[in-house]
């Protein structure tokens, strides 16, 4: 097998939510495979920048609040990446938030905020990036789905709706963009040790019940997504379209 299939040498990747957690971990994985990185977050990605540059790759920091971003903002982001790094080959839509409350108390604000960042911004950035990718002859779009793209969850109706939507829009875009040599796929992380899951890990009983269901017997780490992200960003996945790929330690098998 030609292992160069997994090389991202000469590629440029835009990673949203890149300042920490899963976004930082996947950005480092892409950089280690050879990609230059544009990291987008509502705050500066200083630590991610240093780590990417330590790998010998370029890093461009983009501060953008996706909670208020519209189509024009998405287009400006893509234009900035192309202007600063010379192109855009990979879009990794990772940024996301979660809100928890019982159904009778769940607010309209908590519904709208989550859908805006977790779903609307994913579509708008994909739309803007795919215009550029189609003109250049191809590219890769990787969305971050969730176990709640498959399941209902507890206390998180807007997150479940958004992540179910991410799975659907991934398939819809894959159908349209394959003709332009753009692969659109999604990674569905299992229970990962990030800020979003801190309340679950702090709840002794809930933490134990989760661990008992994961065949791997542990929470996932950001580094566990690196190989999958590189695969879906590289030529190795050129015939992979519209897949929602679980990386969950076996959670869905139980």
> Which residues are catalytically annotated?
159
Q: How far apart are CA 173 and CA 168, in angstroms?
A: 9
Nearest to 252 by CA among 204, 188, 206, 203: 188
223 and 27 in contact (C-beta within 8 Å)?
Answer: no
Q: How far apart are CA 215 and CA 230, in angstroms?
A: 24
- Main-chain phi, psi angles of 108, to 5 degrees: -65, -35
Q: Residue 180, exposed/middle/buried by CB under 10 A (0-12, 13-18, 19+)? A: middle
């Amino acid at each position: 097998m030609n292992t160069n299939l997994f090389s991202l040498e000469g590629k440029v990747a835009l990673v949203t939510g890149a300042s920490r957690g899963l976004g930082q971990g996947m950005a480092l994985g892409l950089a280690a495979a050879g990609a230059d990185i544009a990291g987008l977050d509502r705050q500066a990605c200083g630590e991610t920048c240093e780590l990417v540059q330590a790998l010998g790759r370029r890093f461009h920091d983009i501060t953008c609040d996706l909670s208020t971003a519209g189509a024009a903002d998405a287009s400006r982001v893509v234009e900035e990446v192309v202007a600063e790094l010379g192109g855009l080959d990979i879009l990794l839509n990772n940024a996301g938030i979660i809100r928890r409350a019982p159904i009778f108390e769940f607010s309209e604000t908590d519904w709208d905020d989550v859908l805006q960042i977790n779903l609307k911004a994913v579509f708008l950035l994909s739309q803007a990036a795919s215009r550029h990718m189609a003109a250049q002859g191809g590219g890769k779009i990787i969305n971050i789905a969730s176990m709640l793209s498959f399941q209902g969850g507890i206390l998180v109706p807007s997150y479940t709706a958004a992540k179910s939507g991410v799975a659907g829009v991934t398939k819809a875009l894959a159908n349209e963009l394959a003709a332009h040599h753009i692969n659109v796929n999604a990674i569905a992380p299992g229970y990962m040790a990030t800020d979003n899951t801190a309340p679950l890990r702090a709840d002794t009983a809930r933490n134990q019940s989760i661990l008992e269901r994961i065949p791997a017997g542990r929470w996932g780490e950001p580094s566990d997504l690196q190989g999958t992200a590189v695969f879906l960003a590289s030529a190795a996945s050129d015939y992979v379209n519209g897949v929602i790929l679980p990386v969950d330690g076996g959670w869905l098998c139980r």
